Amino acid sequence: MLYKAGVCNIGKTEIRRRYAFGIIGFVLAAIILVWMSVSGFSHTWFVLLAIPLFAGFEGTYQGALHFCAGFGMTGRYDFLGTRKEYGKVTSQKEHKADIVMSLRIHAYSLWSTVIAIIVIILLI
């Protein structure tokens, strides 16, 4: 894999980490949902599921898109997965493309979270 501004800034190891983070977020959301449902929490409290759901969507989108939003915002990339050696984005134009993609991933995650919360509240 090669760095492509606004397209790809992480390698296989980092992609797996993003998917793992996403899975942890979704599993945590499911556990909390079951606990809240069994405990009789008001539907208003279900909004708290937004935190693990957002993490789930964020990790999943980053893994699927091969793009770390954090690296994109800070002008870095990592294809080795060592977390010790990062490449630096030197072009302002490339960094701007990375920032746009990072914000796009955050927006996808936010909207997916909002939709998921609405669906959960309507179904429970």
Residue 97 has pLDDT above 90, yes or no: yes
To the nearest 10°, report the CA torsion of 7, 10, 13, 19: -50
Q: Which residue has the tokens 């998921």?
A: 116
Q: What is the pLDDT of residues 36-93, one digit of tens each?
A: 999 999 989 999 999 999 999 999 999 999 999 999 999 999 998 887 788 999 999 9
d(Cα 97, Cα 2) in Å, to the nearest integer? 16
Full-model pTM: 0.92
Q: Which among 94, 95, 77, 74 is positioned nearest to 86, based on CA atoms?
A: 77
Q: Count Cβ atoms below 10 Å from residue 98 Cβ, excluding itself.
A: 28
